[in-house]
Amino acid sequence: MKSFNIPEYYRSRIISPLKEFRRKRDKLKRDFTPTVLDFGPVRFFIARHFGFCYGVENAIEIAYKAIAENPGKRIFLLSEMIHNPDVNRDLQDRGVQFIMETSGRQLIPWEQIGPDDVVVIPAFGTTLETQRKLAGIGVGIEQYDTTCPFVEKVWNKAHQIGQKNYTVVVHGKPSHEETRATFSHSKESAPTVIVKDMAQARRLATYLTGESPTEWFYEEFKGQFSEGFSPETDLQRIGVVNQTTMLASDTQGIADYLKQVMIRQYNLLPEEVDSRFANTRDTLCYATNDNQDSTYALLDHPADFALVAGGYNSSNTSHLVELCEEKLPTYFIETEQKILSRELIRHFDLQTKQEVVTENFLPGRQPVTILLTCGASCPDAVVEGILMKIVSFFENTRTVEEVMDAIEQTYA
């Protein structure tokens, strides 16, 4: 796999070598068992796959390259490079300005952008409407377009099935940058509708079968369908693609459900299914799959609690949190700074969308066992910071060198 040139301060003396040990031992990535870092009174089960993926490292490399190659020029990002506060803050500290919020709200008017400015496209990609706006200004975007290749793969699949007269159903969060971009590209080739979850997929099915009146559709899916969309005609042939950071099992569940609805609606034989439902299984991102499968394997091990690191607006990270919360107490934190003391931790509640403080999160008995993972946009250095902050609360722990020597002997 390609090696990227990213700032050294995003790497870790613990986490980065650990990943390399595991990669050499398991080049085909068939072993999803976690790595155990045993410090004595506290031990960590660390997910097999986590942290920066191919698309994120590619985006970071290009963004810092844009800064290095354009001294004296104004450099803009369309929105957050990735959903990680440390990375975005560092780029801003280097003078990079964001044109939009992640929601799409304009921060800098287009009138203030000129043809001599540098504009970096974030890893999520962008809409065709924005591309045309930049082209009209005279800004070239090809050189610093960091769109993840796996996002582009979804766009290509949507285009392919659109050319075969399928309607595209996008499983994603309607307000997320990636989903907005995928919707924009898809609707150029095919009627397109977004479903955010299985509940909306079930509601969509009632329009497919004619159980719900057509006029309800336009209110129920407001802002989630392409111009001129007709439930009566555009739901007769469909294919499902996804925001790449969604829970893979959720996307597959939605696709399987809508496929069965089609089979029942049209009394399809197995060899006839493709006439109504397109095969789009290959749009699921490998990194999202690997991270989620690694989390499932992580949860096979008993522990006192789980720590999940990442940006609070990170979609792929939030899904890892949801998986962990089903099994044990889980704390979703951005950095080690959220660990206030041995007794207090400030963490993000997915239900209330607010930070809360939990007392006595570390049990009094020993050894304490912690499951640890992070999202695809979280630097290794952040994971190390969290790990070492926890270790610092315990006495008579093994040194990092001792722990890493044990790992090297295990995975050499």
The beta strand positions in 318-403, using DSSP E, are 330-333, 344-349, 354-359, 368-374
What pLDDT sits at residue 357? Answer: 98
Over residues 260-279, the pLDDT tens digits come to 999 999 999 999 999 999 98
pTM for the complete prediction?
Answer: 0.88
Give SS3 for 350: coil
Note the pLDDT tens digit of each residue in 66-119: 999 999 999 999 988 888 888 999 999 999 999 998 888 899 999 999 999 999
Q: Mean pLDDT across the stretch 183-195?
A: 97
Q: Are β-strands 344-349 and 354-359 bridged in parallel, bridged antiparallel, or unpaired?
A: antiparallel
Question: What is the C-alpha separation between 150 and 154, in angstroms, rounded?
Answer: 7
Peptide bond into 34 cis (omega under 30): no
- Mention every residue, 6+ apart, whose C-beta is less than 8 A from residue 95: 67, 74, 75
The reply to whether 80 belongs to the active site is no
pLDDT for residue 25 is more than 90: no
Tokens encoding 170: 């996008």
Backbone phi and psi for residue 98, each to the nearest 5 degrees, phi listed first: -95, 130
3-state secondary structure of 401: helix
State mean pLDDT over 320-339.
97
The residues facing 371 across adjacent strands are 45, 306
Q: Does this chain's domain 54-137 share its CATH topology with 149-284?
A: no
Q: Are strands 42-46 and 35-38 parallel, antiparallel or unpaired?
A: antiparallel
Query: Is the CATH code 3.40.50.11270 the one for domain 54-137?
Result: yes
Going from N- to C-terminal start, the domains of the chain cover: 8-53+287-411, 54-137, 149-284
Q: Is residue 411 within 8 Å of 21, Cβ to Cβ?
A: yes
Angle (CA) 75-52-182 rounded to 5° is 65
Is the per-residue pLDDT at 282 higher than 70? no
Q: Which amino acid is at 97?
A: Q
Residues 6+ apart with CB under 8 A from 136: none
* Distance set, CA 166 to CA 170, 184, 220 (Å): 12, 16, 22
- Per annotation, catalytic residue among 57, 80, 178, 334: 178
Residue 25 to residues 28, 301, 407, Cα–Cα distance (Å) = 9, 21, 12
Class of domain 149-284: alpha beta
Class level of CATH domain 8-53+287-411: alpha beta
pLDDT above 90 coverage of the chain, percent: 85
- From the number of C-beta atoms within 10 Å of its C-beta (0-12, 13-18, 19+), residue 227 rates as exposed
CB 113 within 8 A of CB 98: no
Q: What is the pLDDT of residues 138-164, one digit of tens each?
A: 998 899 999 999 999 999 999 999 999
